[in-house]
Amino acid sequence: RKEVEQDPGPFNVPEGATVAFNCTYSNSASQSFFWYRQDCRKEPKLLMSVYSSGNEDGRFTAQLNRASQYISLLIRDSKLSDSATYLCVVNIGDAGGTSYGKLTFGQGTILTVHP
């Protein structure tokens, strides 16, 4: 089983639509959670961190369910510029709570927003 699993999509949605991506992780010792965005032929960049209480950044809402080991990203009012691959990312620490710099990336979910 992969450490971080995502639905690869692709998701094709019209402008203005709401779209949700899901992600599951296998290691219960995971410490930190992120969504990265990667444009075509570009490097990944941090979109937002994901906090236990859920957090919002403009049109983007991230949620974390530690009990289910599940992370989600909701995009409201989709724009053409939201077209990209969205990577679910987990920082896996050890059982003692030590966190390392290493991040584990999901395969990514491809989103295409069309006019």
Partner 1 sequence: DAGVIQSPRHEVTEMGQEVTLRCKPISGHDYLFWYRQTMMRGLELLIYFNNNVPIDDSGMPEDRFSAKMPNASFSTLKIQPSEPRDSAVYFCASSFILGTGKEQYFGPGTRLTVT
The pair of structure tokens assigned to 81 is 């510029």
DSSP state, 96?
A: T
Prior bond of 10 cis (ω within 30°): yes
Examine residue 29 and tell whether it contacts partner 1 (CB under 8 A).
no
Examine residue 69 and tell whether it contacts partner 1 (CB under 8 A).
no
- Member of 12, 16, 45, 79 binding partner 1 (CB under 8 A): 45
Examine residue 18 and tell whether it contacts partner 1 (CB under 8 A).
no
CB of 110 closer than 8 Å to CB of 11: yes
Residue (17 or 103) nearer to partner 1, CB: 103
Examine residue 9 and tell whether it contacts partner 1 (CB under 8 A).
no
Residues 49-68 that bind partner 1 (CB under 8 A): 49
Residue (72 or 104) nearer to partner 1, CB: 104
Q: Which helix (DSSP H) or strand (DSSP E) does residue 76 occupy? A: none
d(CA 69, CA 75): 20
Examine residue 32 and tell whether it contacts partner 1 (CB under 8 A).
yes
